[in-house]
Structures are given as structure tokens and as C-alpha cells.
Amino acid sequence: MAVSWLSRLAARARVPVFPALGMHGDTILHRLALTPGIELVDSPRHASILLVAGGVPPDLHEALRRLHDQLPAPFATLWYRSAPLSELAGDLRVDDPEALPEALKRLHRELMSGRRDSSPRLLPDEPPNPWEGLGDDGHGGEGMMGGVPYGRPMAMNMHDDIRDGLTLDSLTVTLGPFLPVLPPGLGAKVTLQGDLVQSWVTQLAPYPIALENVFHEALQRPVPIAELELARARHHLQRLAFSLRLSGLEHLALVALRLSRGLNVESRVGRLHRWLTRCGFFRLTAAGRGRLEAGQARRVGGIAARAAGLEEDLRSRDAAYRRLGFTPIVQRGGDTNARWRQTLAEIDHSLQLACRAEQEDLYSEMTEAVETPRGPWDDYRPEDASDILEDLLPGLEWDEALTTIASLDLAGVSEWPLEPLSETSLKDDEERQA
């Protein structure tokens, strides 16, 4: 009786979902984060549903299997615009973004009520590092040091501490490509000494980001400047929401997402900026950390370049923007703090430009190139720049390293535009939130 009662109670609870993001899968998360009854969790250990969103490249299937087997039973997997693994061919697949929230809730109810069996484990139940019966005492260790005692590699003092000279044990771990605190697809081999990043080797580049179609159209014909600037502001607000969630400011992250969803030419970010100042967000992004040199900033482009004092913005070459009195906004710090201040300033600037451009019905005039939120797109699309992390992160504490990564838009731009959600689905979401 008690088990039955607990099952019914669990079926009515919020659905804990761990997202494993494939190509362009992050776009659906912005909607799910605002959907009542759905809880996006940061660890597969806390989830009952694994949501595989977007196509996962074949070379990442083994990593996806390892992630799949980390969820506690009972659990299920839902595939959103993604082909299920061969072992899970019978799993539920959903391609319609409007049907996804209800599909997640229904799957959770069936799982908790016992009407659906838990997903099977895909990998053999054996330790990745065999240890039993090995080593001097049968526990995998070798003498005083070395080996893999009880299956866990020992932390070893292999490097001098690069910060203060203290000699600490170092531990090398592999992160990604499904770690929520990193850009989707990014994978790295990291050596830590305590909480200090000793080395960072980028092994997998993040997935290319899909921009709104208006940026693709701007390379073919004149487009309304108001649409360009609203799309630019939405991109930056969604990146800001990711960083706020990473900083533990979940409420403000949702505020930023709601603002991005309902963005129009009358929107402003002054209130959000004041809230960020009061809650200490700019103090969390420590000044002086994650500073880009001029060459690095120019390679990343966009906000990172202008936050480092480089007045590089293709909008300055467009006659229609010049009629609006456009001049690039720049910061001088080039660090994490400067990039977020630059982001807020550019969001507000884009909204002001959109308002004036709509009043004057202005269209872009330059079609051989366009300034995207990620940087200039002229002869070539902005390319991946994630390998700069190898020079940028060593010497930073772990929290500083994460805030630095979050402040940088490093992924290349996809050749395919972002598929927008329908106006009907946006209105339905707003009504459910109300």
C-alpha cells in the first residue's frame, strides 16, 4: 500500500530531466526551462528521464551509453529529433517541439506508476579499471603509490603548482561532451591540483551553433534591422541565462529567458541589469580573470573582441546603421567581467537600435557580410575557437574557469539556420506559466 501511494505521489511530481545535447539540441532547453512541471537537473543521478535532444554524432555514441547507464532505475529515455541507439530502437521519439513537454510528463507518469519498465543497462556491469586480486595486496594498488586501488586511479604529484609553488597531488579527468556546465559537445582532458586548473586539453570542439534565419537572409538580401537586432539580443540573453544558472542564480536565469521569449522593440534590460548588480553577479565574474590578449580576442570576435577594446563591428560599414548613428560599444578589460558588462550593454544597444529602425522602417544595405552575435560573417562563417582555452584556463581556480568558459561564445556557426518555434506554441507556454 505504501509503495503504491509513493508511486502515485512520484507520478504527480515535477519531471526530473537530464538533457544530453546533440547538434542544435540546446534550442529546446530554453522552452523546457520555462515549462511548468519540468525540472532540468544537472546530474544524471537526479533524473528519471534522459532527454537526448538533437543528433548525436556516431563517435559520441559510446559516451552516450555511459551517460545512459548512470541514471538510477527506474528511468526512461526520450529522443527529440535524434535517432535512438540501436539497443534502444523501441524508445519513444518526438520531433514536434510542441508535443515534447507532454511526452516527457506522460513518460514519467507511466514510469513511476509501473506501466512502463525501466530502460535496460547498455554496458557490462564491471569496473572500467579492474582491481580485484591485482597488485601487492589484491586491492589494485602497487606498493606505497600507483596502481588503481579499488578501481580508482590515485592522485599523483606529477606537476609543480603553477600558482603559489605548493606541491599538491594532481588528478586528471575527462569532461564532456554531455556535461551541462560546458557548451554542448565540448570535451576536454583536465588536470587539477586541488581546485586549480593545471592543464586543459580540448579534445572535442563544441557543436556549431545555429543562428536565427535573419542572419542567413542578410547575406542574400536587405532585411529589417529591427529583426536583426532583436535576434542578436535574444542570442545574448540566452547565453546570459546559461551563465546565471551556472552561478546558482536560477530565478534570474528564468527572468532572462522569459525576456528573450517575449522580446520586442519596447523591451529593455535596465531592470535586469540592476538585479544583476544587486545580487552580486558581476562580483562572481572576478575582474582580471580570463583576460584575452588582442590576438585571442580578435579570433573569437564579437562581444569578446569589443570587450577587449577592439572597435571591430561590421555594422559600422552598413549605411543604414550609420543613419541610425551606430558606433560600436567597447570595454577595456578584456576579462570575464568586461565580457558580461559588454553583453548587457550590447543587448540594450540592440533593443534601442531595433526600436529606432522599426520607426524609420530601415533595412540593412550591406549583403556581402553580416555581423552575427558570434562575430563577423563575410567570406567565411565564424569558426570554432575552443582551443584558446588551453592557454586561457591554466592557473585559474575551477569556478573561475567555468565562469570564463560561460562568458565566451567559442563555437563555430552552423550552415543551417535555427528553426523557430511557432507563435502558437509560444502563446501556449505563456498561458501555462500564468
Can you give the pLDDT at residue 131?
83
- CA 28 to CA 95: how far, in whole Å? 11
What residues contact residue 283 under an 8 Å CB cut-off, 6+ apart?
none
Can you give the pLDDT at residue 430?
39
Whether the predicted pLDDT of 25 surpasses 50: yes
Can you give the pLDDT at residue 418?
86
Whether the predicted pLDDT of 198 surpasses 70: yes
Can you give the pLDDT at residue 387?
95
Q: Given CA atoms 256, 261, 265, 266 in this order, what sign does their dihedral have?
A: negative
pLDDT in tens, 36-62: 999 999 999 999 999 999 999 999 999
Q: How confident is the model at residue 207 (pLDDT cuts 50, 70, 90)?
A: very high
pLDDT in tens, 208-252: 999 999 999 999 999 999 999 999 999 999 999 999 999 899 999
Whether the predicted pLDDT of 1 surpasses 90: no
Can you give the pLDDT at residue 194?
83
Q: How confident is the model at residue 195 (pLDDT cuts 50, 70, 90)?
A: confident
Can you give the pLDDT at residue 4?
64
- CA 314 to CA 328: how far, in whole Å? 9
Q: How confident is the model at residue 163 (pLDDT cuts 50, 70, 90)?
A: low
Q: How confident is the model at residue 6 (pLDDT cuts 50, 70, 90)?
A: low
Complete domains list, the chain, with CATH? 2-113 (3.40.50.12280), 213-433 (1.10.645.10)
Residue 233 in contact with residue 351, Cβ under 8 Å? yes
Closest CA to 47 of 29, 68, 26, 33: 68
The more confident residue out of 355 and 14 is 355
Whether the predicted pLDDT of 382 surpasses 60: yes
Residues of the chain above pLDDT 90, percent: 74
The more confident residue out of 367 and 171 is 367
Residue 304 in contact with residue 297, Cβ under 8 Å? yes
The more confident residue out of 434 and 293 is 293
Whether the predicted pLDDT of 155 surpasses 70: no
- CA 219 to CA 372: how far, in whole Å? 11
Average pLDDT across the chain, whole number? 89
What pTM was estimated for this model as a whole?
Answer: 0.90
Q: How confident is the model at residue 3 (pLDDT cuts 50, 70, 90)?
A: very low
For residue 397, give Cα distances in angstroms to 1, 297, 311, 347, 391.
Answer: 50, 21, 31, 29, 14
Can you give the pLDDT at residue 307?
96
